[in-house]
Structure 1
Amino acid sequence: MKKKIAVGACILAALLAAGGLWYTRPQSFWAVTGLDPSRISGVSGHGMELSVEHSRARTTSWTMDHRGPGDEDYEALIALLERGSYRAKLSNLTAPFSDSQPGSEQWVTLNFAVDGEPFPVHIPVPQTMTIPIPGSHGYWQYDASDPQIQAEVLQYLKANGEQS
């Protein structure tokens, strides 16, 4: 009897481990967001950097307004996002992230226009990317395979956006 319980427990543990590995497998930007590239009519981006200079708080931001498919800036931004892979966090299974964004001195928000509706993607640099849960106020969390991608998206906005 104890042997059957032990075998059952081992099988259950193996299934849980396999499920966890499958859930956290590397995925493309499109698979993670669930966006269909053909339904996107444009994207805008906002990057922000917080700092202290001469004992004074400073906020610097860059904005890149509407860029659409076929536009050179749009294609370059999409290529940056497609370059990496993203892994879901296991914490998404228990309680999807719903609080305010985690603290960071640098962050990027990309707002995709999909069938006339906004779809925001929040990327605190170099922390976890958050994707909105459809029909909810919560977010799913994903880690990039290469955290440098997040910093490069901010650098891209600095180079191609307008500073304010």
Structure 2
Amino acid sequence: MQALLANDLDLNAIEPRLGAKYSPNLHAYLALERNRNHCRFARVYRDPDGVLWIGFPDDYFFVGARLSSVLVNGSKTQVFAHMRLVHTLVEVEGFWATYVRDGRCAIDVDHTRGFIGDDTRWAVTDERRTCNWCGNATQTMTRWTEAVEKTAWVAEPLPLAA
């Protein structure tokens, strides 16, 4: 079996009470006693389809869960041993350091997703907004009009009887 290397994650550094940028569900998942190995050894990986996974590999399995499942279900997330994944995953280097610094922006680097409790994520000024969590994203409001052609079948009136 591969030797597991500690991930240098300090659970206290990602406490949700430190700021809305930290996921309460991710923290709850990692804080569970049954997940103590995940807290110490889990890293984040990307599969060939771009899906993020949290866990750790051994020689034959990847032990973990989809990160999106953890974000939604928190401590209720089930951990599985995934045989097919183990050789297809690529580690997201430096994920935990980025998460400590930027919070959930480490998961949504393109700033396109909405998160539960992200009402403090953006500082809005007129037609522009800046991310409060990481400070690295600015977006501008863009408006446009689209013409949409629609078709529908409509019943014809029945002829009147003579």
Instruction: Please say whether Structure 1 and Structure 2 have the same fold, judged by a TM-score greater than 0.5.
Output: no
Which structure has the higher relative contact order (CA within 8 Å, separation 6+)?
A: 1
More strand by share: 1
Q: Where on the TM-score scale, by shorter chain, does this alignment land: which range?
A: under 0.3
More helix by share: 1
TM-score normalized by structure 2? 0.23
Which structure has the greater CA radius of gyration? 2
TM-score normalized by structure 1? 0.23
